[in-house]
Amino acid sequence: MNWRRTRLVGLMATLVLAACSGCSDKGDGGDDDDDDGQNTGDTNRPGFASSDKRPEGVPFALPAGLELVEPIPGIDMFKLEDCRDEDETEPPQEHGSGDLVQLCLNFRNNTGAPITVEFPPGIIFESETTDTQHGILVQRASIVVPAKPVSYKLLYLYCLNNSRSESSPSSRYRKGPVTQYADFKELFALLENKKIPTKLTPELQQAVYHLTRNEGLSASDRAYINSLPNK
């Protein structure tokens, strides 16, 4: 199916980006120490880059009457149809962006009416192990949970830990905090009114890697963001 092939192409592009070494933004006004996502040592940001600590931030509460079942499993990119409601026949709707952390959210709606949950940019979904990457949302994701006792939704996130493995069906996650770092907030503000493809955007993954190491956005990061179309 075309939507499966699209996800595969995106994932391969990210893995190439993550494996890149010796790359830099030299010559285009970028940072001399830019290495396109390679960890350069420990970070002073818990849970980011090579840190094995839990990420920090402010808690995020779901709307009243809505429950998110945990642990949250990863999803097989070739079996996205496994993350959809039983009465659905179309490919499942995708939320967020990024290919390295792909999750299947299992909601319990106890209200008898549809509920919209607004996941804010900066919310982190934490891996239960230090072998698998944490994921972060870079743009608000609005998910409508129907008036069903059980409903499944796909959520894609960007990687916070370049040295770890991407998510898989055996991965398990939990809803974490919303990061409050000023440089991440700047990134979210720059992206707020931009159209971000649901499929992988390697340039944005690189920008996230820069911020996980507290390096700030490079000139090429900013140029790419500015090139994105407005909503």
Supply the pLDDT for residue 200.
Answer: 66
Q: To the nearest 10°, the Cα dihedral for 148, 154, 158, 161? A: 90
Give the C-alpha distances (Å, rounded to integers) separating 138 from 19, 47, 108.
22, 17, 25
Query: What parts of the chain have a pLDDT lower than 70?
Result: 1-43, 200
The pairing of beta strand 141-145 with beta strand 66-68: unpaired
Supply the pLDDT for residue 228.
Answer: 95
Peptide bond into 71 cis (omega under 30): yes
Alpha carbons 51 and 41: distance in angstroms, whole number: 9
Supply the pLDDT for residue 107.
Answer: 97
Q: Do residues 80 and 89 lie in contact, with contact meaning Cβ atoms separated by under 8 Å? A: no
Q: What's the predicted TM-score (pTM) here?
A: 0.83
Supply the pLDDT for residue 43.
Answer: 64
Q: Do residues 169 and 76 lie in contact, with contact meaning Cβ atoms separated by under 8 Å? A: yes
Q: Do residues 67 and 108 lie in contact, with contact meaning Cβ atoms separated by under 8 Å? A: yes
Supply the pLDDT for residue 9.
Answer: 45
Supply the pLDDT for residue 103.
Answer: 97
Can you read off the two tokens belonging to residue 194? 């931009």
